[in-house]
């Protein structure tokens, strides 16, 4: 099968899996890749919200699996990026509605249609998590530099290794000034504890809340700092060696954070 199938997971909820899936997908699509995003959070779907396609949902993942519709009838094409499509989750069902085998089959079918399948995993390590990783060939673990998140990420990485999935790490919502004052773990601390290959570092940005509420991924906002970072992550995913921006430059970030709010 042609496509790379990547699950985005974390263990801990609320660290930014869905936002990362949406923005990384957008960045890849912008660079010319054909991308399909799959929301595996049945019953608590949010990927459609973050992308602003909620109003256009007619069929969903569970109905595809149950044979009520064709796969292409359920796929929603993004209006802003023609290479980006999303397969939404069902809202009025729960995660027992599909099996790992069924999920694998859907992901395989999608794999024939695009270059990247990104699977947004639900929080936790229960049935929903197992479904989400079932069809994947590789994993990205998203974590924030907080002790609870790192501990959960560690548990999840263990489970991913059990399945033989290669794992790469994105550290989300890092606040450089807090790292400097010793109130937040730094990048090196995190990568050392988790011993996984680093794929990206995304700083905390209050604009993300608003863009998420409005369904406009920040990666699509022209000239946004975060947009540039997601573009770099996309390039790294493609195999390019892109150096990490040092977040240490104090004056730039201190100015930025003082201006906020």
Residue numbers at the binding site for another protein (CB under 8 A): 11-15, 18, 43-46, 49-50, 54-59, 63, 65-70, 73, 91-92, 94-96, 99, 102, 105, 122-128, 146-148, 151-152, 155, 175, 178, 183-185, 206-207, 209-210, 212-213, 261
Q: Which is nearer to another protein, 197 or 207 (CB)?
A: 207
- What is the closest distance, in whole angstroms, from the C-beta atom of residue 113 to another protein in the complex? 15
Q: For residues 72 and 110, give the distance between their C-alpha atoms in angstroms, rounded to a whole number.
A: 9
Considering only CA atoms, which of 199, 209, 202, 5 is closest in space to residue 87? Answer: 5
List the structure tokens of 123.
């929080």
- What is the closest distance, in whole angstroms, from the C-beta atom of residue 58 to another protein in the complex? 5
- What is the closest distance, in whole angstroms, from the C-beta atom of residue 179 to another protein in the complex? 11
CA dist list (Å): 53 to 58, 80, 150, 166, 216: 11, 11, 32, 31, 10
- What is the closest distance, in whole angstroms, from the C-beta atom of residue 138 to another protein in the complex? 22
Ranges of beta strands (E only) in 18-115 are 35-39, 76-77, 84-87
Q: Which is nearer to another protein, 124 or 137 (CB)?
A: 124
Q: For residues 43 and 61, give the distance between their C-alpha atoms in angstroms, rounded to a whole number.
A: 11
Considering only CA atoms, which of 174, 157, 229 is closest in space to residue 199? Answer: 229
- What is the closest distance, in whole angstroms, from the C-beta atom of residue 100 to another protein in the complex? 12
Q: For residues 38 and 200, give the distance between their C-alpha atoms in angstroms, rounded to a whole number.
A: 21
For 172, how many CA atoms within 13 A lie in the half-sphere containing its CB?
27
**Element housing 120 (H / E):** strand 116-120
Residues in the chain: 261
- What is the closest distance, in whole angstroms, from the C-beta atom of residue 94 to another protein in the complex? 6
Q: Which is nearer to another protein, 88 or 236 (CB)?
A: 88
Q: Which is nearer to another protein, 157 or 237 (CB)?
A: 157
Strand-strand pairing, 35-39 and 116-120: parallel
- What is the closest distance, in whole angstroms, from the C-beta atom of residue 69 to another protein in the complex? 6
Q: For residues 248 and 187, give the distance between their C-alpha atoms in angstroms, rounded to a whole number.
A: 11
């Amino acid at each position: 099968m042609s496509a790379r199938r990547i699950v985005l997971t974390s263990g801990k909820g609320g660290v930014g899996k869905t936002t990362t899936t949406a923005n990384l997908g957008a960045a890849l699509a912008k660079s010319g890749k054909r991308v399909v995003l799959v929301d595996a959070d049945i019953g608590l779907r949010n990927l459609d919200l973050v992308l602003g396609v909620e109003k256009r949902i007619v069929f969903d993942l569970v109905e595809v699996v149950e044979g009520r519709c064709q796969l292409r009838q359920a796929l929603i094409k993004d209006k802003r990026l023609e290479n980006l499509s999303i397969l939404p989750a069902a809202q009025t069902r729960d995660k027992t509605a599909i099996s790992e085998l069924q999920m694998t089959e859907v992901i395989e079918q999608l794999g024939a249609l695009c270059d990247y399948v990104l699977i947004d995993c639900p929080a936790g390590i229960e049935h929903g998590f197992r479904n989400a990783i079932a069809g994947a060939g590789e994993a990205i673990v998203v974590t924030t530099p907080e002790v609870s998140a790192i501990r959960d990420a560690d548990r999840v990485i263990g489970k991913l290794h059990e399945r033989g999935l290669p794992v790469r790490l994105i550290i989300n919502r890092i606040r450089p000034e807090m790292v400097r004052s010793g109130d937040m773990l730094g990048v090196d601390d995190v990568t050392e504890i988790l011993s996984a290959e680093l794929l990206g570092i995304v700083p905390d940005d209050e604009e993300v809340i608003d863009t998420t509420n409005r369904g406009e991924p920040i990666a699509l906002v022209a000239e946004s700092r975060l947009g540039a970072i997601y573009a770099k992550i996309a390039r790294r995913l493609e195999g390019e060696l892109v150096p990490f921006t040092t977040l240490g430059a104090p004056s730039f970030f201190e100015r930025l954070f003082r201006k906020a709010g």
